[in-house]
Amino acid sequence: MLGVQDVDDLGLRTDLVTACRIALGIGSTTAYALAGRDELPFPAYRVGRQWVVPTAGLRAFLGLPQQRSAQG
């Protein structure tokens, strides 16, 4: 089972496939198809040729508390 620490370990952002496996349990083909149609339930952004998912949006979708900043 996925824990809060596993999502914390992702940092500020993660790749599309990782986010979709964690949040939706789907593979890369479906992940890219949903992203291309703007049908993901969390934010994903195209940066050059890659898709990036901010972990704050992923955490919100999963119902996890937001990570505290290092500065307090």
Structure confidence at residue 7 as a pLDDT band (50, 70, 90):
confident
d(CA 68, CA 20): 23
Q: In sequence order, what are the residues at sequence separation of 6 or more whose Cβ sits closer than 8 angstroms to the Cβ of residue 44?
A: 16, 19, 35, 51, 52, 53
- Condensed to tens digits (0 to 9), the pLDDT of residues 27-71 reads 999 999 999 999 999 999 999 999 999 999 999 999 988 776 655
Largest separation between any pair of C-alpha atoms in the chain: 39
Structure confidence at residue 9 as a pLDDT band (50, 70, 90):
confident
